[in-house]
């Protein structure tokens, strides 16, 4: 599985640790920056990961900023991206089982690294409940995103 990861300055330290953690486990990691903890604007980095997932250059994305909120808001504007801002393993599990989330947005300031590692493990190892079943209730609900995403695509924004 290929994973694209990025942060802003507030998530930089955890991004380094989480990228190494993923590599140790044999994942292919695309580190989209930043390269240091100088202040940056989180949308610039959320966009890199969201585009990787949207265009299939990565199977999953991981974003880390102060709260995870700003990066999730931005990533969710990109078609085919379903980003979840997660602070517990239970929410990571549900974000996969019910929402088929493909981007995980983490808090580098309010959640400890070890807890984020556990959240990441859960996110990567939990299946979507309706995988291969387009008539299932979760799949049916996600399909309601398609017309909205189609409008964005038709406007030529992506
Ligand atoms: C940066 O100070 C902070 O606003 C950012 O990391 C993030 O938490 C935004 O949602």
Indicate the DSSP class of residue 72.
H
Tokens 């079943």 locate to 133
For ligand 1, pick from 9, 45, 65, 109 the residue to mutate: most ligand atoms within 8 Å of CB.
65
* Residues 149, 3: Cα–Cα separation, whole Å: 23
Active site residue 65: yes
Distance 134 CA to ligand 1 centre (A): 36
Indicate the DSSP class of residue 136.
S
Number of neighbours of residue 28 by Cβ within 10 angstroms: 12
Residue 70 Cβ inside 6 Å of ligand 1? The answer reads: yes
- For each of the chain's 158 residues, which pLDDT tens digit applies? 999 999 999 999 999 999 999 999 999 999 999 999 999 999 999 999 999 999 999 999 999 999 999 999 999 999 999 999 999 999 999 999 999 999 999 999 999 999 999 999 999 999 999 999 999 999 999 999 999 888 877 776 65
């Amino acid at each position: 599985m290929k994973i694209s990861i990025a942060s802003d300055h507030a998530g930089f330290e955890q991004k380094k640790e989480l990228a190494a953690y993923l590599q140790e486990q044999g994942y292919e990691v695309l580190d989209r920056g930043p390269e240091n903890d100088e202040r940056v604007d989180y949308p610039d980095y959320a966009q890199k990961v969201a585009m990787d997932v949207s265009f299939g250059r990565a199977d999953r994305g991981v974003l880390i900023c102060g709260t995870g909120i700003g990066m999730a808001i931005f990533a969710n504007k990109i078609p085919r991206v379903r980003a979840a801002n997660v602070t517990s393993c239970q929410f990571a599990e549900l974000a996969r089982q019910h929402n088929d989330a493909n981007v995980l947005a983490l808090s580098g300031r309010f959640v400890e690294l070890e807890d984020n590692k556990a959240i990441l493990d859960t996110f990567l190892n939990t299946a979507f409940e309706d995988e291969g079943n387009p008539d299932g209730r979760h799949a049916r609900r996600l399909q309601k995103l398609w017309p909205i995403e189609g409008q964005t695509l038709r406007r030529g924004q992506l």
